Amino acid sequence: MQTLAQLKKGELTGTTHLQLAESLTQFPREIFTLADTLEVLDLSNNQLTELPADLSRLSKLRILFCSNNQFTRLPDGLGVCESLEMVGFKHNQINEVPDTSLPENLRWLILTDNCIKTLPESLGDLERLQKLALSGNQLTHLPNAIARCKNLELLRIASNQLAEFPYLLFSLPRLAWLAFANNPFCDARDEHTEFKTLKSSQFEWQEVLGQGASGVISRAINLVPSESLASEVAIKVFKGEVTSDGSPEDELDACLSAGEHPNLVTPLAKIFDNSMSALVMSLIPSNYSNLGQPPSLETCTRDTFTQGQSFSIEQIQNILNQVDSVMAHLKSKRISHGDLYAHNMLLHPDGHLLFGDFGAASKYDCLPIYQQHGIQRIEQRAMTHFIEDMLGLCIEDDKQTDTYYDLKRRMFNIR
């Protein structure tokens, strides 16, 4: 992270990425000295309420983050910033999104955890929009113009005030990753009395194994081991904040509703005490590794993979068979995972796969049958992308096999 003092001294001349977090209440005009080079500007974690009307002077600016500030209105000046492709205003107090605030070349818009009740019809003019995060607002409906966002692939509308499922979403030809839990049209969360509720004092926390937007996973020692609960477990403590995917409470509900499957991390119990909400799970052996990496700013909605990563067509078929089995299981439970990605999967050297992260999951048993089928088609599109990603990792010698071509045909048949 850089400092405002460095900027004022001219020490940041030529920089392409600027991050300032110093409780700023005003936009530092010195930023314009970087107009010829600046591509990424991160002003998150300040106290800003507005941006300058001439922000478009930053002619190369592609990415703007202003999360955790005090904006009540998405700034009008954004709309004339022709180079902007990604805008993030998570966790502000925004209650107004003017027509003039949406850059026409926008690919990725994050407005999570604000106070937005309506969106402008000009949203439909964003022909390049691929990713839209709206969870944790007060939306009662989506604009009809969203049907024109033909390139929209990922949408998060969980934890809003939508009285009915937005049927217009079924007309979006590329929508593949959708989260919609915790809206008035959804059923109430289950109590899951089939799982024991335990005290945190029963466990001795050890090292952190991983963390994400919704919580922190740690290894823990169970001080009261039993037949149903091993001496070593993993515990995910939820942060309690609305994430881009939705509410941690809905993640817990979906994970427990999914229950057991050979390719899912096994949920064992719940923890609710001392204002803590947590999930006790089976401990995953350390020799499992991530199948993929999250999307980058460039790939937007598509996973990334480590350089040189490859699989034989037999390994790919084995991975796909396991994912098919998980998705069939979730379909039988009427659960949409909403985040079918390789980066949410762990792979063992022997080929066994574990699928996790229910942060974007939504239960849809309460919806009419035709809407259930529409949601299932959206999940199938995500599977299409996953197949494509896996085939992209296929070793060259196996790209002429019958199995490879069968999977290619399956991919296009789903589309």
Question: Phi-psi bin for 407: left (phi > 0), alpha (psi -120 to 50), beta?
Answer: alpha
Question: What's 189's DSSP letter?
Answer: P
Give the angle subtended at the CA of 388 by the CAs of 382 and 393, to the nearest 5°.
130
| Cβ contacts of 229-233, under 8 Å, gap ≥ 24 | 229/268, 229/269, 229/280, 230/282, 230/283, 232/283, 233/203, 233/268, 233/280, 233/281, 233/282, 233/283
Q: Is 239 assigned a ligand-binding role in the annotation?
A: no
**124's tokens:** 């439909």
**153's tokens:** 């692939």
**380's tokens:** 């199938």
Burial of 6 (0-12, 13-18, 19+ CB in 10 A): middle
How far apart CA 144 and CA 167 sit, in angstroms, is 10
The backbone torsions φ and ψ at residue 32, rounded to the nearest 5 degrees and listed phi first, read -65, -15
The answer to whether the CB of 51 falls within 8 A of the CB of 31 is no
Give the alpha-carbon dihedral of 149, 127, 305, 1, to 10 degrees.
-110
DSSP-based three-state secondary structure for 315: helix
Which residues fall in the annotated binding site for ATP?
236
- Residues of the binding site: 236
